[in-house]
């Protein structure tokens, strides 16, 4: 790719503040004005903002991969899901009897599985004998299943109505955010090791695969996170609404601002989440900006803009790509862990690639690839529009079809309004890619 994506002339320095201000006004309108376009509820407004901030963190991770290095990750949903496992495995209270039922055997099985892969790799690099490698793999697989199957049956039989899973470690939920990043980074290492250094399309296809498989594992491995039976009651790092409503001090405090206690408690909880998310977001942006301005960042951009030249300067392109791919995925994993913490619920069926991979991509491209603030702006804006399109879309269709005679065609169009979101998002992606490829906030 010999395309220089940096701005030729310096752009207006007020551009970013103005765009962020417009976005802020939209959220204030959503919180205060009640009409056909806005809900007038601070709870709704803050809920959109919180999810928007999490999307922003995800977009930052994707932006590291795409904006810094030109890597196309089509498995964002998988890395989010990988991160989402962390709160379940780290911060849920331990399930009684699960470890005794088969925990050790399970760990042993997983160790055998990983060991088999390592042995196979060793066998292949040392001897280059396909037969030996295949034998190692087959033997390892048999041993793995022999250990794994009884352990899983035992764990899933343990109080299946309420648990049937291995349970967590009972550690603080904030720690699990970091662990989520580590989980996603591990998956990224495995996939990057294989697919990087080959044709650029291959990484896209391989990540598409790993994304689907991670979600499939989450749906079907009941011992891990109860599969489609969902995990509820993930510990939360902030106060409970009910506890706040029972607290007379808080009720007085809310009354002094003119809010009923029920509404105020919701707003309080959302504000607490928001401050947590903002801290994480700002730390990641700070680190990302520092990295981008360091010699490392210049090297990454040099590699992205001209791989051949960078290689001639002695840079190990594949290694650098692997590095940035792992870093970006780790950030996505952190966001995944934060998402389940916000929801308090892990529902594997909700991990839909259209929503969690491709929508994130629209955010990154619209915001301005290569610019961290752009990714944040794009993420929050697109998320706001995506949520509001649920209300605005049908209204728009109703307005457009107003003059039409009532009939099956009109009814069909009105029914299919929710699907318009997909067309709109695709169209936005295509239009931005074509007419403003540097996005709302171009790379500096």
Partner 1 sequence: MDFLNALVVFLNFVFIPAAAYGAQLALGALGVTLIYGILRFSNFAHGDTMAFGTGIVILLTWGLQSLGISAGPLPTALIALPFGIALTALLVLGTDRAVYKFYRRQKAAPIILVMASVGVMFVMNGLTRILIGVDEIRFDDGARFIIAVRDFREMTGLEEGLALRSTQALTVGVALIVMVALFWFLNRTKSGKAMRAYSDNEDLALLSGIDPERVVRLTWIIAAALATIAGTLYGLDKSFKAFNYFQILLPIFAAAIVGGLGNPLGAIAGGFLVAFSEVAVTYPWVKVVGYLAPWYEPGGLMQLLGTEYKFAVSFVILIVVLLFRPTGLFRGKSV
- For residue 376 the two structure tokens come to 């944040």
Nearest distance, CB of residue 274 and partner 1, angstroms: 30
* 128 makes contact with partner 1 (CB under 8 A): no
Nearest distance, CB of residue 159 and partner 1, angstroms: 23
* 353 makes contact with partner 1 (CB under 8 A): yes
In degrees rounded to 5, what are phi and psi of residue 26?
Answer: -60, -45
State which of positions 290-349 bind partner 1 (CB under 8 A).
none
Residue ranges in 33-75 assigned as alpha helix (H): 42-63, 69
Tell the burial category of 174 from Cβ atoms under 10 Å away from its Cβ (0-12, 13-18, 19+).
Answer: middle
* 206 makes contact with partner 1 (CB under 8 A): yes
- For residue 303 the two structure tokens come to 């590699």
Task: Show the site string, 215-254: x = touches partner 1 by CB under 8 A, - = not.
Answer: -xx-xx----------------------------------
Whole-angstrom distance, CA of residue 113 vs CA of residue 297? 37
Q: Which is nearer to partner 1, 278 or 413 (CB)?
A: 413
Please enumerate in sequence order all residues whose Cβ is within 8 A of that of 198, keeping only pairs 6 or more positions apart, or say none. Answer: none
Strand partners, 346: 231
Whole-angstrom distance, CA of residue 389 vs CA of residue 383? 10
* 153 makes contact with partner 1 (CB under 8 A): no
State which of positions 47-86 bind partner 1 (CB under 8 A).
70, 72, 74
State which of positions 383-422 bind partner 1 (CB under 8 A).
413, 416, 419-422
* 426 makes contact with partner 1 (CB under 8 A): yes
* 433 makes contact with partner 1 (CB under 8 A): yes
Among 365, 366, 375, 377, binds partner 1 (CB under 8 A): 365
Please enumerate in sequence order all residues whose Cβ is within 8 A of that of 93, keeping only pairs 6 or more positions apart, or say none. Answer: 167, 168, 170
Please enumerate in sequence order all residues whose Cβ is within 8 A of that of 286, keeping only pairs 6 or more positions apart, or say none. Answer: none
* 34 DSSP 8-state letter: B
Nearest distance, CB of residue 237 and partner 1, angstroms: 33
Nearest distance, CB of residue 397 and partner 1, angstroms: 11
Q: Where do contacts with partner 1 occur on this chain (CB under 8 A)? A: 1, 3, 70, 72, 74, 149, 194-195, 198-202, 204-206, 208-210, 212-213, 216-217, 219-220, 353-354, 358, 361, 365, 413, 416, 419-427, 429-430, 433-434
């Amino acid at each position: 790719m010999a395309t220089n994506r940096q701005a030729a002339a310096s752009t207006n320095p007020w551009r970013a503040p103005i765009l962020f201000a417009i976005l802020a006004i939209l959220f204030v309108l959503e919180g205060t004005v009640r009409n056909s376009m806005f809900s007038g509820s601070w709870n709704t407004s803050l809920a959109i903002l919180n999810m928007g901030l999490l999307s922003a963190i995800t977009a930052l991770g994707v932006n590291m991969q795409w904006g810094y290095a030109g890597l196309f990750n089509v498995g964002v949903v998988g890395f989010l899901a990988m991160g989402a496992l962390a709160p379940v495995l780290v911060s849920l209270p331990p399930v009684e009897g699960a470890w005794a039922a088969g925990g050790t055997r399970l760990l042993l099985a997983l160790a055998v599985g990983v060991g088999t892969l390592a042995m196979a790799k060793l066998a292949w690099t040392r001897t280059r004998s396909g037969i030996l490698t295949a034998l190692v793999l087959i033997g390892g697989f048999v041993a793995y299943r022999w250990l794994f199957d009884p352990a899983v049956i035992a764990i899933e039989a343990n109080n299946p109505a309420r648990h049937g899973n291995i349970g967590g470690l009972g550690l603080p939920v904030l720690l699990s955010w970091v662990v989520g990043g580590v989980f996603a980074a591990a998956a990224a290492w495995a996939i990057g090791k294989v697919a990087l250094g080959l044709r650029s399309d291959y990484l896209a296809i391989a990540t598409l695969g790993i994304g689907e498989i991670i979600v499939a594992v989450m749906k079907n491995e009941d011992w891990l996170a109860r599969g489609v039976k969902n995990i509820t009651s993930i510990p939360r790092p902030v106060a409970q609404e009910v506890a706040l409503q029972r607290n007379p001090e808080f009720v007085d405090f809310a009354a002094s601002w003119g809010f009923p206690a029920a509404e105020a408690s919701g707003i309080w909880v959302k504000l607490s989440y928001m401050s947590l998310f903002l801290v994480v977001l700002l730390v990641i942006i700070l680190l990302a900006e520092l990295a981008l301005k360091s010699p490392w960042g210049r090297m990454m951009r040099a590699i992205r803009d001209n791989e051949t030249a960078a290689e001639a300067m002695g840079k190990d392109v594949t290694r650098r790509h692997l590095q940035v791919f792992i870093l970006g995925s780790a950030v996505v994993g952190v966001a995944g862990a934060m998402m389940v913490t916000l929801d308090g619920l892990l529902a594997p069926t909700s991990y839909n690639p259209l929503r969690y991979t491709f929508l994130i991509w629209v955010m990154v491209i619209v915001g301005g690839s290569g610019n961290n603030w752009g990714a944040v702006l794009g993420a929050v804006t697109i998320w706001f529009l995506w949520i509001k399109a649920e209300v605005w879309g049908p209204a728009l269709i109703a307005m457009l079809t107003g003059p039409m005679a009532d009939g099956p065609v009109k009814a069909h169009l009105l029914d299919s309004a929710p699907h318009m979101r997909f067309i709109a998002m695709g169209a936005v992606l295509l239009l931005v890619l074509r007419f403003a490829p540097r996005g709302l906030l171009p790379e500096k």
